[in-house]
Structure 1
């Protein structure tokens, strides 16, 4: 089996992602760049049909022309968004998309997420992109344009997809999963901080501090 270790690892991560509400039964997908020829990617309906509990052979090996090389399953229609990221910048090694529970508050409202925790400062701004329909070429192109605008600063980035979910671009699968966890904790804190601010309990501040951004 091609890339057995990497496919097994992806199975472990997506199961954990589902169990910790990083996505839900409505969808989500994760892809990892293996080399210049292949990515591995979760199949369509991984959440709805399988609750993100997959075997390694259900992880698809896909070439850069979006052809399945090996694996049991069908490609998600959102592969266009993943490929847009991979083809736009070679340093992107993982694209993670989920319907993360806490972050969906901001995505569903169509607003940027305040970046309040030290652990998320490497994200910089956490913008909510304008609405485009899920799986559409327009959504993939909007994401590609956003990646292009970042230049070489494309890693450790999180975007909210309006009404849809979150998108994280990272160097590796484990880094992307780590960033999702950080984003979710920040979202949990941010919407409570906004309530405190609105109720005049304590003013929410996004100050400039000498954060330690080293891992």
Structure 2
């Protein structure tokens, strides 16, 4: 891997990821246990690497990271090519996701505040805000222990089922947090990173609004979930396992 004397590999990407970590903390899109974020990059020879947050990014460093603390990791060997931090135990999930869909450029896992209501309930989150409609279904996955191969294999299978939707998708990990993936054949890794940051942020707002619409149904103010002037379903639908979103407006926005 070649890079200018006195500089570090993928310095620009690592510096940007360090800034994103701080943004995630300040926006309360994660808690002190943090989560983990990675992007898939290539060197000048075409070889792939993961640029990834270290373990304890929030608890030990409180979200204040510099570029050298962000790791450059060789896939599958999990060898740290550059960086002073230690590899998170959840690298197996990131690796499994990139293997499941090679066009994914960013895996973004956080312990988002408002989403945890839906994550601990095991219910799919109704997608009601305009900003989140392109995510379509926001599903809560079945529970599997964190940092395990069991979780990595399960998430990998779910990513494969999604096909192209995995290139912009949001899952809720049961009792654990959120998981966003983004990418595309020609998408730059940093563009994918910024898209996932936006998606976790807007999904947090959606989680709060969907919860309040749930309460309003229980007290008789609403007769269902509403999105962009359309009733998209009811609390009974959610309890039955449906993942609600506004299919009508999503179809109309395909060309946006």
Q: TM-score range by the shorter chain?
A: over 0.9
Cα drift, residue 88 of structure 1? 1.0
Q: How far 1:73 moved relative to its partner? A: 1.1
Alignment partner of 1:100: what SS? coil
Cα gap change, 1:214/1:67 in structure 2, threshold over 3 Å: closer, same or farther?
farther
Paired residues for 1:169-208 under 5 Å: 169-171=181-183, 172-205=192-225, 206=232, 207-208=246-247
Aligned position for 1:64 = 75
Q: Kindly indicate whether the alpha-carbon contact (under 8 Å) linking 1:121 and 1:213 is maintained by their aligned counterparts in 2.
A: no
Gaps of 5+ in 1: none
1:94 pairs, out of 95, 103, 106, with 106
Q: 1:214 Cα deviation (Å)?
A: 5.5
Q: What is the distance in 2 between the residues matched to 1:214 and 1:175? A: 18
Structure 1 residue 209 corresponds to structure 2 residue 216: no
Deviation by residue 1:80-125 (Cα, 9 ceiling, x = unmatched): 0111111111110000000000101111111110011121111111
Contact kept? 1:62, 1:70, Cα under 8 Å: yes
SS at match of 2:108: strand
| 1:1-215 aligned within 5 A | 1-35=8-42, 36-65=47-76, 66-171=78-183, 172-205=192-225, 206=232, 207-211=246-250, 212=253
Displacement of 1:208 after TM fit?
3.9
State the Cα distance separating 1:213 from its structure 2 match: 5.2
Contact map agreement 1:29 1:96 (CA 8 A) in 2 = yes
- What TM-score results when the alignment is normalised by the length of structure 1? 0.96
Whole-angstrom distance in 1 between the partners of 2:254 and 2:224: 22
Count of aligned pairs between the two proteins:
215
Distance 1:174 1:214, change over 3 A: farther
Q: Say whether the 8 Å CA contact 1:98–1:167 is kept in structure 2.
A: yes
Cα deviation, residue 138, structure 1: 0.6
Name structure 2 gaps, 5 residues minimum. Answer: 1-7, 184-191, 226-231, 233-245
CA distance in 2, matches of 1:2, 1:77: 23
Larger Rg: 2
Check whether the contact 1:97–1:166 (CA below 8 A) recurs between aligned residues.
yes
